[in-house]
Amino acid sequence: MQQTRSTAHSTTKAKPFDQRPFLWLLGVMLFSISLLAAATLRAQEKTVTTHGYSFYGSLTYPEDYPHFKYVNPNAPKGGEIAIGTTGTFDSMHPYTRKGRAGALSSVMYESLLGSGTNAEAPADVYGEGYGLLAERMEYDEGRNWVIFYMRPEARFSDGTPVTAHDIEFSHNLLLDEGLKSYADAVRKRIPKVEVLDDHTIKFYFTEGISRRSLIDQVGGVPAWSKKWYEETGAGLDESRLEVSPGSGPYMIDTVDVNRRIVYKRNPDYWGADLPFSVGRNNFDRIRIEYFGDDTAAFEGFKAGEFTFRVEGDSKRWATGYDFAKVDAGQVVKKELADGAPATPSGIVFNLGKDVLKDRRVRQALALAYNFEWTNESLQYGLFQQRTSFSQGTEIMANEAPTGAELDFLKSLGDLVPAEVLSEPAVVPHTSRPERLQDRRNTRTAMKLLDDAGWMVGDDGIRRNAAGETLKINFLFNSSSPSTLAAVMENYVGNVKKLGVDITFEKVDAAQYTSRERDRDYELVFDTYPAFLGTGTGFRQYFGSEAASYSLFNPAGLASPLVDAIIDASLKATSREEEVMMMMALDRVLRHELIMIPVWYKANHWVAYYDQYEHPENMPAFELGYMDFWWYNADKAEALKAAGALR
C-alpha cells in the first residue's frame, strides 16, 4: 500500500529544517554590516590636527606663536646660576627606585609634548601642552588614538636623531622596568603603540575608559636613546652615574659625587630656535652644590659658594638675611607672587599601620599640633594655616555641599558619610597661641584615645586591652631646615603628653629615602600634589589599586569613596563639571584625615646675588629661575670687582 503524504495521518515525522547554516550566514552578514557601519562612522568622525593639546580643546597659543608671553625673547645667553641643596646622591639616573638621584638629573630629557627643561611650559596656562619633539599631532574626535608627527631635526646630545623608535622604546621600557604603580595603570589604558615611520608614532587607547590624561600621558614620556641602551645593556631600574644622552638644552658637564653637579647648555641644541625655546634656557651652566644640612647650605650661600636660594625657613627669612652683602645690595632678598595652589605638605599618617586605622587615633594626634603657637613663636607669624588640597582656588571646598556638588555626592550612595553631605568641609582645629600645649585640645585628644581603647597606665603610657603600647615612630630627614625640625620636635613633645610612646627618628637623607619607599614609619613629613583639575595620575596618588606600593601615596590611602570620585571626574564633559567634582574630592580627602595640614605662604621667598634678572610679568605657575631668568654680565663683573663673588 502506498503511504499517504498527509502529515495528519502519517505515522512518520518530516525531517526538521536545519537552521544552523542559515543562522551562521545571517550572523556573518550582520557582522559585516556592523563593521561597515562602524567604519563609516569612523570615517565621518572628525579628526583633529593641532600643534598642541588640551582636554577641552581650547589653546591659548596659536599655531604661529612666536614665543610664550611671559618670556623675554631678547634675554641674553650666558653665565652661570648656582643652586645649593642638601643630602647626598649616588646616581645620575632619576628613573629608578634604587639609589638616590642627583638634583636635576632629568633635565636632559624631552618629550613629544613636554617642558624640555626644568620647569613646566608654558607656565602661564593650566592644562595645555605644546609640541616639542612633535611638530604636530592628530587624533580622532573620540580620542581612540593619537598620531605624533615628530620633528626630523631633533637630535640627542651625541648627534644621533630622535626617532619614533626611541619613543616606542622609552614607553615600553617604563612599562617593563619602571615603577609598578605607573606600569599597571598605563598598560590598562594604552594597549598598543605603533611606529608608522621613523618620525611618526601612533598610540591606541583602550575602549570604554575615560579619555582623560591619555594623550597627555603618551605626550609626556621622556625620550631615551634606544641605541644607547642596546649598546650598553643598561637597565632602567638600576643606579648609575653614566646615563643615556638626552635631547634637551642641557647636558652633564661634571659630576663630583655628594659634592657638585654641573650641567652645561648644549651649544648644538637642536631646538634652540623653536618658539617653545625662545627666551628660555638662558644660562650657559647650572651648578648644583651639595651640603650636609640646611644650616651649612645657608652659610655657603652667604660665602658665595652658590648664588641663588629659594628660602623655606621662616626664621631665617625673618632674621637671617641681615649680613653685609644684603645691606650693600649685593644680595637681593625678594618676595614674588606664587599663583599655584599651595603644596599640601604636612605630617602624613601611614594608614597601613594598624594603630592608625582608627580615625579617632588620628584625630587625637592631629590635636597635638598647635599651628598658632608654632607660627607666632617659631615662624615669626609669616604663615597661614593650610586647609585645602587646592588652597585659595575655585576648587577649594568650604561650606556644606549644595547644588550640583550635593547631587553628585548623593549619587554615590552609601559610600558618602552623612556628615560629608550636611556639614561644612573639614578645617584644622584652632589652638591658643599663648602656650605650646592647648589644654582644651589635649582633653579632647585624651578622650578620643580613651574611646579608641587606648587607656593610660600607671606609668603614663597608653595601652590597649591586649597590653600593647600605643607606639608611634616619626621618621624625619635630618638634612631638613632647622626650624622645621624644631616645629616637629615640639609637636612630638605634645604627643608624648597624651601618653603616646612616640619616637622622633632623625636619619640621613639616604636612609630617609630608603625607609620612606618601604613605608617604614607611622608618621612622616611629606607632601601630596595640589590640584586644579583631574587626571589619571590621581589613581597613583590617592587611589586604592596601588595604595599598598605607590611611591606617590605615602599615607597608603585606599578609599572606595575617593576612587568613585576620581573615576567620575575622569568622565567630566565640561570644565564646570570637573571643578565641581574636584571640590568634592578636596572635601572628601580632608574628611579622610590622611595628614595633619601645616602651613603655607602666598609668595616665593628668594635671595640671589644681584647678577640675575627676570621678566616683569611673571607667570602664575612657575618661579622659573633656571628656565626664563637670565644673567647680567655687567652686574656679575661688578660683584666680582667688589669681592662679593670670586
Q: Residue 521, Cβ neighbours under 10 Å: how many?
A: 22
Element containing residue 525 per DSSP (H, E):
strand 523-527
| pLDDT per position as a tens digit, 396-422 | 999 999 999 999 999 999 999 999 999
* Distance separating alpha carbons of residues 602 and 572, to the nearest angstrom: 30
Q: Is residue 427 a contact partner of residue 387, using CB atoms and an 8 Å limit?
A: yes
Confidence at residue 10, expressed as pLDDT on a 0 to 100 scale: 33
Q: Is residue 311 a contact partner of residue 317, using CB atoms and an 8 Å limit?
A: yes
Mean pLDDT of the 445-461 span = 97
| ∠ CA 455-459-465, rounded to 5° | 30
Q: How far is CA 399 from CA 418, 423, 470, in A?
A: 15, 7, 35
| pLDDT per position as a tens digit, 190-235 | 999 999 999 999 999 999 999 998 999 999 999 999 999 999 999 8
Residue 455 phi/psi, 5-degree rounding, is -100, 150
Confidence at residue 81, expressed as pLDDT on a 0 to 100 scale: 98
* Distance separating alpha carbons of residues 116 and 272, to the nearest angstrom: 11
Mean pLDDT of the 249-278 span = 97
Q: Please report, as a single letter, which amino acid is at residue 309.
A: R
β-sheet bridge partners, residue 201: 148, 195
| pLDDT per position as a tens digit, 424-436 | 999 999 999 999 9
Confidence at residue 153, expressed as pLDDT on a 0 to 100 scale: 98
Domains by residue range for the chain, with CATH: 49-69+88-245 (3.40.190.10), 264-339+602-641 (3.40.190.10), 345-600 (3.10.105.10)
Mean pLDDT of the 483-500 span = 97
Confidence at residue 117, expressed as pLDDT on a 0 to 100 scale: 52
Cell of 544: 586604592
Q: Pick from 251, 244, 190: which is nearest to 219 by CA?
A: 190
Taking the model in full, what pTM does it have? 0.86
| pLDDT per position as a tens digit, 529-575 | 999 999 988 999 999 988 998 889 999 999 999 999 999 999 999 99
| pLDDT per position as a tens digit, 114-152 | 754 567 899 999 989 999 999 999 999 999 999 999 999
Q: What is the DSSP string of 122-133?
A: SSSSSS-EEBSS
What contacts 55, CB < 8 A, 6 or more positions away?
127, 211, 212, 216
Pairing assessment for the beta strands 308-310 and 603-609 based on DSSP bridges: antiparallel
* Distance separating alpha carbons of residues 281 and 520, to the nearest angstrom: 40
* Distance separating alpha carbons of residues 23 and 186, to the nearest angstrom: 40
Confidence at residue 28, expressed as pLDDT on a 0 to 100 scale: 41
Q: Outline where DSSP puts E strands in 561-640.
A: 595-597, 599-600, 603-609, 612-613, 630-631
DSSP label of 341? P
- In the predicted model, is pLDDT for residue 62 greater than 60? yes
Pairing assessment for the beta strands 145-150 and 129-130 based on DSSP bridges: unpaired
> Per residue in 95-115, is it b (16+ CB within 10 Å) or e — as a string?
bbeebbbbbbbbbbbbbbbbb
Residue reference for cell 616683569: 616
Confidence at residue 237, expressed as pLDDT on a 0 to 100 scale: 83
